[in-house]
Amino acid sequence: MKSINPVNNEVIREYPEHSPEEIATIIGSVAEAYELWKESSFEYRAELFKSCARLLREKKRVYARLMTLEMGKLLRESESEIEKCAWVCDFYSDHGASMLQDEIVPSDARRSFIAYQPLGILLAVMPWNFPFWQVFRFAAPSLMAGNAAVLKHASNVPGCALAIEEIFQEAGFPPDLFRALMIPSRDVANVIANRHIKAVSLTGSEAAGSQVASLAGKNLKKSLLELGGSDPFIVLDDAELTAAVQTGVIARMINQGQSCIAAKRFIVMKKVIRDFETAITEEFRRLRVGDPMDPSTQVAPMARPDLVQEIARQVKGSIEAGARLLCGGHPMERPGCYFEPTVLTDVRPGMRVYHEETFGPVVAIIPVESEEEAIKVANDSEFGLGGCVWTKDLHRGERVARQVITGAMFVNGMTKSDPRLPFGGVGKSGYGRELGLQGIREFVNTKTIWIG
């Protein structure tokens, strides 16, 4: 298992994979740790998560640098990601106990209530694009609820996986409560089948989600999937264009466009489309390409060479189908995995960037005549993760937000995740919810207790 720097494609370090025997031994150790952990108090768990948050902030620069080296994220974005991980630890430390307290429900019993109890060991199959946040988004509520976990991280960020394991241990959690498995995707099936694994959470591609859901179903184990997205960024004719453009650049370019909830389909009413095209193209042309460790850099490399090749094919195919290129459009002629910030317009059905998730720095502008057509186009997708709408009329914005079929809609703001709010999608963007009250209750046994 290799860690490769996408800035120059040089190998940082190689890691040995765990053998089937080592995997079984690790899971057995986690099972033993779980038996004690599930009996621990919420106060004790909360104290450890506070320690975890402090440790993340104290070593923010170290963890951020590791993240940037392994997958190319801008260093300042990596630092923000570590801060967000600390936030989710603090959030569930503060609120986890109240979210899982017994819930009294009047019935024909002398006393009846709902108890929320842990399931056991959870398997997390996580992606490379937010290598710390995706894991803590899963781990904070899951462990606070009394579960244990094993992590199968993306194969290009093994250093991040082991660092997260060390964070939990250094924060004082039981040594085997959270373990990272150094395994390739082909070994996931055997882990899911292990009798100690009670559920699986996956964040990743549609193909990976389908396979994991099938394996979980075969083994009668719960699964949660957070998959791809092709989020609409709707610009109505009364939008504040300056704000929409400025936010649109950030929403599309965060993590070099390699985010499930990045803005991808820019659905713009024709009354304002030319002004929008001009403004966002000017912003894209001004973006500075460089080393992600350099504070002045605005465009970092993509995570892997194959991702550059795929986004290039999507852009080329869409142009051949009639899309108009306003800027960019090609891999950059420099070392590393760089792709030019790209703006396409006149995007129509039948084009790859209209239908597919574009995991890279590419804006696809789709012209529409009306609010009704904007909603229709937004819903013309197999994905349904997030989206946003821009308008000066907040009642209009809410009306549109309610009609777009996604797990989240934002009015006059970019789509983002927040520990206080549930996060997840519909359709081929997956099922289940992370974060918020719903997130901590995903992996618990919701038990009815009736006392006569």
Q: Which of 176, 221, 165 is nearest to 28 (CA)?
A: 176
Question: Which residues are registered as beta bridge partners of 112?
Answer: 450
Q: For 17, which DSSP code?
A: P
Residue 119, C-beta contacts closer than 8 angstroms, at least 6 positions apart: 147, 198, 199, 222, 443, 444, 445
Q: Which of 373, 284, 303 is nearest to 67 (CA)?
A: 303
* Strand arrangement of the beta sheet that strand 197-203 belongs to: 178-181, 148-152, 121-125, 197-203, 222-226, 430-431
d(CA 52, CA 115): 27
Is residue 260 annotated as part of the catalytic site, yes or no?
yes
What does the alpha-carbon distance between residue 434 and residue 226 come to, in Å, rounded to a whole number?
9
**Cβ burial 310-324 (10 Å sphere, 16+ → b, else e):** bbbebbeebbeeebe
Residues 6+ apart with CB under 8 A from 381: 230, 232, 265, 355, 427
Euclidean distance between CA atoms 175 and 152, whole angstroms: 17
Structure tokens, 47: 């104290």
Full DSSP string of 179-196: EEE---GGGHHHHHHSTT
Indicate which residue of 226, 277, 283, 356 is catalytic. Answer: 226
Three-class SS of residue 325?
strand
* Beta-strand relationship, 362-368 and 263-269: parallel
User: Distance between CA 377 and CA 199 in Å, rounded?
Assistant: 36
Q: Where is 57: in which H helix or E strand?
A: helix 42-58
Number of Cβ atoms within 10 Å of the Cβ of 94: 13
Give the ranges where 220-367 is alpha helix by DSSP (H): 241-253, 270-286, 305-320, 352-355
Are the C-beta atoms of 370 and 378 separated by less than 8 Å?
A: no
Bridge partners, residue 446, by sequence: 116
Q: Which of 260, 337, 356, 371 is catalytic?
A: 260
Strand partners, 6: none
Distance CA 365, CA 446 (A): 45
Positions marked catalytic: 226, 260
